[in-house]
Amino acid sequence: MKNKLPDNLFPNNIKNLLHAMSDVGFFERSVVVGSWVMLIYQELYGARYVLRTLDVDFAVHIAHQKRKLKADLKQLITSLGFTDYFDAEGTQKFTGGGYEVEFIGQRSGGRGKGVLAVPEWNVSAIPLPFISILTDFSDVAELCDFIIRFPIPEAFFLHKLIIAQRRLSDAKRDKDLEQCSVIIPIINDERMKNIIQKQRFSRETKSRIVASCDAIGFPLHRIELL
Amino acid sequence: MKVAEKDNVVHGMLEDEYRRSQEIVKALQAKLKYYPKGALNVRGKKVKNKKYFYHYLVRRDGKKIVNLHVAELDLPKLKKQIEEREKCRKEILSYKKRVLYLAKLLKKSKWEGGREK
C-alpha cells in the first residue's frame, strides 16, 4: 500500500470509529471529509494545516434506491460509546467523547429535501450539492490494519473553491480558502483537469470558482475551466 | 499594551463550536425525555424458606417516592434504557461545561443559537 498512515494519527475515539466502519465496508465507496482530511494530506503529502473541528464528517455514496441493508451503522456507532440524536432539521447525528459524527450525501435537485435517508447503512445524511466530487475522486490509505478512503487533494480543492463562495459566514469562507492555499503546492494539474472535464458546472458555479481562485492567487489556466 | 490581532478563522471555529455544543445540549435534552425516570432497585422476599427477588423502578413524583414493579421480562430492556440515559446525561454535562468555557472565552451569554452548516 503506497499510502500508509501512522497508527497514532487520529485520537483513539476516531480511530476506533474508522476501524469499525472500514470493517463493514463503508470505505469501499464512501469517504471521510471535513477538516480531518487535512491531517491525512499532512501525513501523505506534507500539506500542513493545524486547525481541526470536533465534527467528523463522512460523505456517503448513495447507492441505487431501495438497496438492501449493508451494515447497521447506527447500531455500530452507538456500540462504540456514541449517543445518537436528531438535530433541529431532523438529521441523525452521533456524539461521543466531545466529537460529533455526521453524514452528508449528494443532493440531487433543488433545496427541497431536508434529510437524505441512507437505508443501505441505516443512517440519515444531510443533502448537499457537489458532494459527488468528493466521493467520485478518491484514494485509499492504510491506517493500522484497515483502510480508509478520502478525497484526492484536487477534488477536495475544487469542492472548497465552490463552497467557499456559498458560505454565509466570512470565517468559514476564510477557513475554506486557507485550506485551499495550503493544498496548492500538491495539486496535480492533470488530475485537476480530469475532474473538471467530468463536471457540468452552471455559470454561477464557474464564477464562484473564479472568485475563489482570485482570492487565493491560483492561476485559472491550471483548471482549464471552460 | 500589545494586543494580538483577532484571527477570523480561529474565532469563527470557536463560535461555531459554541453554537454546535448548544445545539447538541438541546437535542440530547429532548432525547432524555423519552427515557424512563428513576433507578432500579431490588427487593428480596422470603416465602417458605425460599428467597424471591423483585425489581422496582424507584422515582420521585413531587414529594412522593414511587416504586414501580418491573417484570422479569422487561428487565433487560429497562436496564439498557437506563444505561443509555446515563450516557446521554454524561454527554450533556460535558457539552454544558464546554458551552460555559466558550461563553467566557467569547464573552457571550450562556445560551445563544443558530449555526451554518
Q: What residue segments make up the domains of chain A, in order of their start?
A: 7-151, 153-217
How would residue A63 be classed by pLDDT, with cut points 50, 70 and 90?
confident
- pLDDT score for A225: 75
Portion of chain A with pLDDT greater than 90, in percent? 80
Give the whole-angstrom CA distance, residue A86 versus residue B24.
9
Residue A83: which of B12, B15, B28 has the nearest Cβ?
Answer: B28
Can you give the pLDDT of all 117 residues of chain B as single tens digits? 666 677 888 999 999 999 999 999 999 999 999 999 999 999 888 888 898 899 999 999 999 999 999 998 999 999 999 999 999 999 999 999 999 999 999 988 766 654 444
Tell whether B34 is covered by a domain. yes
Give the whole-angstrom CA distance, residue B50 versus residue B43.
14
Tell whether B96 is covered by a domain. yes
DSSP for A10-68?
S-HHHHHHHHHHHHTTGGGT-EEETTHHHHHHHHHH--------SEEEEEE---STTPP
ipTM metric: 0.82
Tell whether B114 is covered by a domain. no
- pLDDT score for B80: 93
What is the rounded average pLDDT of the residues A183-196? 94
What is the rounded average pLDDT of the residues A115-121? 91
CB atoms A174 and B13 under 8 Å: no
Of the listed ranges A9-13, A83-87, A202-206, B6-10, the least confidently predicted one is B6-10
- pLDDT score for B111: 63
Give the residue with greater pLDDT, B110 vs A91: A91
- Using CB atoms within 10 Å of the CB of residue B5, give its burial: 0 to 12 exposed, 13 to 18 middle, 19+ buried: exposed
What is the rounded average pLDDT of the residues A155-181? 95
What is the rounded average pLDDT of the residues A121-128? 94
The residue type at A37: V
- pLDDT score for A188: 95
A 115-144 near B (Cβ less than 8 A): 126, 128
Domain count of the fold of chain B: 1
A175 CB neighbours in chain B (<8 A) are 9, 12-13
Look up cell 484526492; give the residue.
Answer: A152
- Closest Cα in chain A to B21: A98
Cell numbers placing A63: 447507492
Which residues form the domain of B40? 8-105
Of the listed ranges A46-55, A178-187, B90-99, the least confidently predicted one is A46-55
- Using CB atoms within 10 Å of the CB of residue B42, give its burial: 0 to 12 exposed, 13 to 18 middle, 19+ buried: exposed
CA dihedral A51, A24, A101, A177 (to 10 degrees): 40
- pLDDT score for A65: 61
- pLDDT score for A89: 86
Is the overall model pTM greater than 0.90, yes or no? no
> Which residues of chain B have a Cβ shorter than 8 Å from any chain A Cβ?
8-13, 15-17, 20, 23-24, 26-28, 30-31, 84, 87-88, 91, 94-95, 98, 116-117
A178 CB neighbours in chain B (<8 A) are 9
DSSP for A170-223?
HHHHHHHHHHHHHHGGG--HHHHHHHHHT----HHHHHHHHHHHHHHT--GGGT
What is the rounded average pLDDT of the residues A4-22? 95
Q: Which residues are registered as beta bridge partners of A139? A: A150
Residue A51: which of B9, B24, B26 has the nearest Cβ?
Answer: B9
